[in-house]
Structure 1
Amino acid sequence: MMADIILSLILLGSLIGLAWPFLLYPLILRALPTKGEHPVAGPTPTASLLFCAYNEGAAMPEKLDNLAMLKGRYPGLEIWAFDDGSSDDTAAQIMARGDLVSLVRGPGRSGKAHGMKQLAARARGDVLIFTDANVLLDGEAVERLLARYADPAVGGVLGSLHYLGDGESATAAVGSLYWRIEEMLKDEESRTGNVLGADGSIFSIRRDLYPDFPDTVLDDLTVSMAVVFAGRRLVKAKDVIARERLVAARGDEYRRKVRIAARAWHTHGHLRPQLRRMGALDRFKYASRKMVRWFGALFLLSGGLAAMALAWRIAPWLALALLAAGGGAVLAGVLMRRGPLAAIVDIVIAYVATLQGVARAMRGNTFAVWNPAKSR
């Protein structure tokens, strides 16, 4: 009897751990009061747009056209790019548009964090806008982003990322669903105070808040969290739209998640002293949206083992039947590119990749450089 209770508690705890960041945490956020913004009349701040690139030759024509469109709509926009030792024609394409983009070339592979620091040191805009080489911004993005800085309490503003190509594979579909949930969580976090961290697709901060940090950390998280640590608000603008193509291949997505998780855990260690000084609500948000997810594979494993043990105690044949059904579903999902079984496999793969990345970071390994996904 006691064993049944323990196993049931393990199963329940595992289910709560899996559901917390995607179901329970959003419900709690929705119950919290809204924290409004208080704009003050004044001049629109100047802006510098920064991005790093490595072997993005295929994406550069569309990226440069997009930047030209933004510059035409916002003539005062300063644009900087860092080439991280590309072996294709990325740097040549950017140099050919020297009237539009100022290029800094790295000595070789030094990583995005290093590159962004080089650009931030050269930028002169009141607001630094960070984006990725393969991301396209809507025409109104710069104007709408800067408008949120009319509130002097706002130190950083995120945009909204819309993914393209979600019907190309189960991997892309799962990635799209995950990101829609992520965008919804950021909206609710912003409404109730601070968003707890940005991704690199589109975010901005006041230039005087840009921090110092080592090249090995996740610069998007480190830079955006500097706003919160400074006592300013990090908010999200839903009407600032960035667009990016999804990764369609499982191998590409697995490697990407391992790299991001390893850098995120390493960054967590770097930021830990400042994280401990945050307010209670921000610490709760950070743990709920980030830390719980890092260990999702452990919740999945412990819950699965507890369920199997409970089934075995009821009847051994039931446990064997569940094991056979689960194994068959996983095999079918691995062989398929689309459909619910393929999506379930991709969710499990995402959990495993994230935990592997965290484990690598715990052993002292991290990633300073990156490679564009071939299936994007």
Structure 2
Amino acid sequence: MTIALFCAGVFSLSLLIYPYAIYPALLRLFPRAPVVGGGQGGANTPITLVFSAFNEARSIQEKLENIARLKARHPDLEVLAYDDGSSDGTLAAMQARPELLEVIVGEGRQGKAHGMKKLAARAKGDIVIFTDANVLLDEDAVDRIRFWHGDPDVGGLCGNLRYLGADTSTTASVGGAYWRLEEKIKDMEAQTGSVMGADGSIFAIRRALYPDFPDTVLDDFTVSMNVVFRGFRLIKCNDVIAYERLVASRSDEFSRKVRIAARAFHTHQHLSPQLGRMSLLNRFKYVSHKLLRWFGGLFLILALLSFLGFCFALSLWLGVLAVILLILTVTLASRTGFTPLDSIFEIALSMIATLWGVIKAIRGQTFQTWVPAASR
């Protein structure tokens, strides 16, 4: 029993760290698949930029200024925005700039996926750039997106999202570190073929590849994975740069993780038939990058229980001491501060939030609408 508990703890811990350490190491073993870019297909391709907004009064003016700079450089850039029932002046601010963008007004709260579908249906560009209302694009982004789509094998791309405000709290610091690791893993996936899904902050696809889907799924995940399903490459391009502010509040980030995880796993359930038809390499990457990561909180709990059981199996007093140390560690780590202990607690809390979101999805709960984080 003692050996079994120890082995169970080691196995659970291995599954916990696999998506972040072991999987990237394995990716280095696969053959490289370079992307050419350029050519005749990208230089003058019409492009549409789309985003959905809800109560973004704090960031919408900065977004409009960013669009103005993009339009000054690319007068032919079509920009479409969807307002999902804002009540804070977001809609008025966007409608005041008709020279920059066309605004589609929703009928109450319908959610981002609903809005993005309306925008994609109205888009005239052969390439559609998807972004968020609080995300700013580098002025070179449009040119670089055109360039990479010059490769006929490329159906879409993920941009390079750079987070701002990592020094404002431990939550933001850990969030920034997590995203830097995520960016590196996407780089490595792209070097072997395709990335397993894009983040909604900045990605682009050929409009002809836009799929139909229900309003309850994650539109960015669904749309970007359809590129892979259709036999094209979804790549990662570090010269397509966007900027976004990190969430600084622990409670805001926990709620955001729960919502995103619930929608992501619900999307996984919706896409299951197509996922099963992917190539063996892509299925390996998907399970490693997505599926195992969603259950990281479960592996964390199993590892803790196994090692505690191991301590109790060795000695009652050793088990009691291990429980006391665990309680003290959690108590100290839960206090906000820039310490390694606090960062570890933040990572664990993030995994638990993700697991809780997955459980909600398994139980049939979905999240169709969103509310911007107050601490962003």
**TM-score in terms of structure 2 length:** 0.98
Tell me if structure 1 keeps the 8 A contact 2:38–2:149: no
SS at match of 1:50: strand
**Cross-structure match for 1:196:** 196
Tell me if structure 1 keeps the 8 A contact 2:36–2:151: yes
Matches within 5 A, 1:345-364: 345-364=345-364
**Cross-structure match for 1:176:** 176
Deviates more, 1:71-80 or 1:310-319: 310-319
| Corresponding position: 1:41 with 2:39 | yes
**Cross-structure match for 1:50:** 50
SS at match of 2:149: helix
Tell me if structure 1 keeps the 8 A contact 2:54–2:86: yes
**Cross-structure match for 2:274:** 274
**Cross-structure match for 1:373:** 373
Q: CA offsets per residue over residues 4-51 of structure 1, 9 Å max, x none?
A: 232122112111111100000000112222101244621431100000
Tell me if structure 1 keeps the 8 A contact 2:38–2:148: no
Report percent identity of matched pairs: 52
CA distance in 2, matches of 1:301, 1:158: 33
Assess, with a 3 A threshold, how the Cα gap between structure 1 residues 92 and 363 changes in structure 2: closer, same or farther.
same
Amino acid in structure 2 at the alignment position of 1:109: R
**TM-score in terms of structure 1 length:** 0.98
Unaligned runs of 5+ in 2: none
Q: CA offsets per residue over residues 53-75 of structure 1, 9 Å max, x none?
A: 00001101110000111111122
Tell me if structure 2 keeps the 8 A contact 1:35–1:193: yes
Amino acid in structure 2 at the alignment position of 1:29: L
Deviates more, 1:271-280 or 1:347-356: 347-356
Tell me if structure 2 keeps the 8 A contact 1:44–1:147: no
SS at match of 1:150: coil
Assess, with a 3 A threshold, how the Cα gap between structure 1 residues 309 and 92 changes in structure 2: closer, same or farther.
same
**Cross-structure match for 1:91:** 91
**Cross-structure match for 1:205:** 205
SS at match of 1:156: strand
Tell me if structure 2 keeps the 8 A contact 1:11–1:307: yes
Unaligned runs of 5+ in 1: none
CA distance in 1, matches of 2:298, 2:269: 20
Amino acid in structure 2 at the alignment position of 1:203: F
SS at match of 1:310: helix
SS at match of 2:220: helix
CA distance in 2, matches of 1:141, 1:321: 55
**Cross-structure match for 1:10:** 8
Aligned to 1:24, which of 22, 25, 35?
22
Amino acid in structure 2 at the alignment position of 1:28: L
**Cross-structure match for 2:337:** 337
Corresponding residue pairs, total: 374
Tell me if structure 2 keeps the 8 A contact 1:47–1:126: yes
Q: CA offsets per residue over residues 294-322 of structure 1, 9 Å max, x none?
A: 11111111111111111122222222222
| Corresponding position: 1:228 with 2:237 | no
**Cross-structure match for 2:294:** 294
Tell me if structure 1 keeps the 8 A contact 2:38–2:147: no
Tell me if structure 1 keeps the 8 A contact 2:84–2:105: yes
CA distance in 1, matches of 2:179, 2:37: 29
CA distance in 1, matches of 2:286, 2:22: 14
SS at match of 1:335: coil
Amino acid in structure 2 at the alignment position of 1:34: R
Tell me if structure 2 keeps the 8 A contact 1:158–1:203: yes
CA distance in 2, matches of 1:41, 1:360: 47
**Cross-structure match for 2:75:** 75
Tell me if structure 1 keeps the 8 A contact 2:36–2:148: no
User: Shift of the alpha carbon at 1:181?
Assistant: 0.6
SS at match of 1:13: helix
User: Shift of the alpha carbon at 1:130?
Assistant: 0.2
| Corresponding position: 1:262 with 2:262 | yes
CA distance in 2, matches of 1:148, 1:89: 37
CA distance in 1, matches of 2:237, 2:260: 24
CA distance in 1, matches of 2:356, 2:94: 36
Amino acid in structure 1 at the alignment position of 2:34: G
CA distance in 2, matches of 1:345, 1:98: 47
| RMSD (Å) for aligned C-alpha atoms | 1.0
The list of structure 1 runs, each at least 4 consecutive aligned residues, that deviate by more than 3 angstroms after superposition, is none
Amino acid in structure 2 at the alignment position of 1:21: P
Tell me if structure 2 keeps the 8 A contact 1:48–1:128: yes
Amino acid in structure 2 at the alignment position of 1:122: R
Assess, with a 3 A threshold, how the Cα gap between structure 1 residues 151 and 83 changes in structure 2: closer, same or farther.
same
Q: CA offsets per residue over residues 114-150 of structure 1, 9 Å max, x none?
A: 0000000100001000000000111111111110011
Matches within 5 A, 1:84-233: 84-233=84-233
CA distance in 2, matches of 1:131, 1:346: 27
